[in-house]
Each structure stands twice: as C-alpha cells, then as structure tokens.
Amino acid sequence: MEYLLYLHIFFMASAVVLVISAFTIVRRKKTGWFARHRRIALLAVLSALLGFIAEFIFKTAMHYPHLKSPHAFAGVISLVLLIITPATGLLIASAPKRYRALHKTLGKITSVAVLITASMGIARFIQLSRR
C-alpha cells in the first residue's frame, strides 16, 4: 500500500507544476493562451483529485486518521479552491464582467495556497521519514 503514498506525492507534485504553468500562461498571453490555460488548469484539478484519492485510500487501508495535520487541512482547502477557481472561469462566458475579477483573484489565491500546501507536505514528509 506504500505505493499509494508515492502516487499521492506524484499527482500532487504534478498538480503544483500544472497550477504554476496555468498561472504563467495567463501572465504571458501568447497566441492560443486561453485554450492552453483551460486545459492545463483542468489537468491540475484532475491531478490533485487523483492525489487526494490516493492518500485517502492509503490512510483508510493503513487505519491512519484523516485530517490530523496542518498539511491535511491545507490540502483540503487547496483542493476546494482548485475546484471553485475553474468553475468561476466557466461562469465568465455567461457574465464576463461579473466573474472575471473573482476568477483572477481566486486564481492567485489558489496558486499561493497550492504552493504553501506543497511546502507543508514536503516538511511533513521529512518529519515522518525521520521517525
């Protein structure tokens, strides 16, 4: 079952890279940026969901408690933000002025939250590996 922990790390690391990529694409706005931004952002959400599922199954199988560390709480918050942010992006088509500012703000908050959560995850992994 230890492989699930490594799947969690792989998918979450991939999500971090994808979130940073989606953010960078918007900042540079080269030709075709919107389609790339949308595709990469949705891949980030999928990757984070797979990482969450892998960790959930791992903890359940090992009879470890859920949500017992600051990293776990930050992860849930980041995952919720990762789902809400693209949802607001989809709403821009129906009311651009109303949702664009919200989507941009949530994108920045989500990017920072994901980076903080990843840093906490690295610290947690080091902490647990020293036991």
Q: Are 56 and 13 in contact (CB under 8 A)?
A: no
DSSP state of 63: T
Topology annotation, domain 2-129: Four Helix Bundle (Hemerythrin (Met), subunit A) (1.20.120)
The band of 128, judged by pLDDT with boundaries at 50, 70 and 90, is confident
Residue pointed to by tokens 């890279």: 17
pLDDT 10s digits, 57-85: 999 999 999 999 999 999 999 999 999 99
What is the pLDDT, as a whole number, of residue 109?
97
Q: pTM (2 decimals)? A: 0.92
What are the structure tokens assigned to 99, written together?
């949702």
Residue range 14-25, pLDDT digits in tens: 999 999 999 999
Residue closest to 40 by CA, chosen among 21, 24, 27: 21
Domains of the chain, residue spans: 2-129
